[in-house]
Amino acid sequence: MYAHLSRIVEWIAIALALVGGAVLLVIVALTSLSIIGRALVPLDIGVGPIRGIYDMTEIGMATAIFGFLPWAQFKEAHARVDLLEPVMPRTLDRLLDLVFNIGMFVVATIGTWRLYLGMLDKHAYGETTLIAQIPVWQGYAAAMIGGAGFVIVSAFCIFRATRRLAGLPV
């Protein structure tokens, strides 16, 4: 059961990271096109910068970052300080891993909950970005997909850390 659950959670984390990477590549391409268009303005050939590129970049970056968080959590790649790990008993180290995974779950849950409330607020007021007039709630919704994945992966990581603490295979 654990191995099957691990594969499902890993698949979720990989899928979200790939989507985040694709969004990042689209942002790079759009920004490059906008810069090229801006450089061609003096030639007066009808090409210019992409209108609202800053708005698109802002929304895209939030989407990409939240897409990467589940993969970082699954791979235990978040920043940590392991100065005392070599001198700590293995059980204490595994207990601290469990505590930190619980902390990340709390952060993921609160962050996603706040994204949800922010999305509802932006939708209710009909707020749009300044230049492109993109509804802001759509950016929150896109980021919230990654946030939900972060919560799921963080919950699994608590399970995994508990198994390690109990001496069960992971």
pLDDT of residue 122: 97
Q: Could you give the CA distance from residue 166 to residue 138 in angstroms, rounded to a whole number?
A: 43
Name the residue among 7, 19, 106, 109 with its Cα closest to residue 60: 19
Helices (DSSP H) in 40-135: which residue ranges? 53-74, 90-125
pLDDT of residue 35: 95
Percent of the chain with pLDDT over 90: 89
Angle between helix axes 136-165 and 2-39 (nearest 10 degrees) is: 150
**Tokens 């096109």 map to which residue?**
33
User: Is residue 158 a contact partner of residue 102, using CB atoms and an 8 Å limit?
Assistant: yes
pLDDT digits 0-9 by tens, 102-113:
999 999 999 999
pLDDT of residue 80: 76
* Residue 71 falls inside a structural domain: yes
Q: Looking at residue 25, what DSSP letter applies? A: H
What's the mean per-residue pLDDT of the chain? 95
Q: What is the biggest distance separating any 2 CA atoms in the chain, rounded to whole angstroms? A: 70
* Residue 65 falls inside a structural domain: yes
* Residue 47 falls inside a structural domain: yes
Q: Does residue 99 have a pLDDT over 90?
A: yes
**Domain of 105, in residue numbers:** 2-78+87-165
User: Is residue 38 a contact partner of residue 49, using CB atoms and an 8 Å limit?
Assistant: yes
* Residue 113 falls inside a structural domain: yes
Q: Count the helix, strand and coil residues of the chain and give each as a percent rounded to the nearest 5.
A: 80, 0, 20
Where residue 142 falls among pLDDT bands split at 50, 70, 90? very high
Count: domains in the chain? 1
Average pLDDT for 123-151: 97
pLDDT digits 0-9 by tens, 54-96:
999 999 999 999 999 999 999 999 877 777 788 889 999 999 9
Q: Does residue 44 have a pLDDT over 90?
A: no
**Tokens 């970005």 map to which residue?**
129
Q: What are phi and psi of 142, to 5 degrees?
A: -65, -45
Task: Indicate the range of 75-79, 118-122, 124-128, 159-163 predicted with least confidence.
Answer: 75-79
* Residue 170 falls inside a structural domain: no
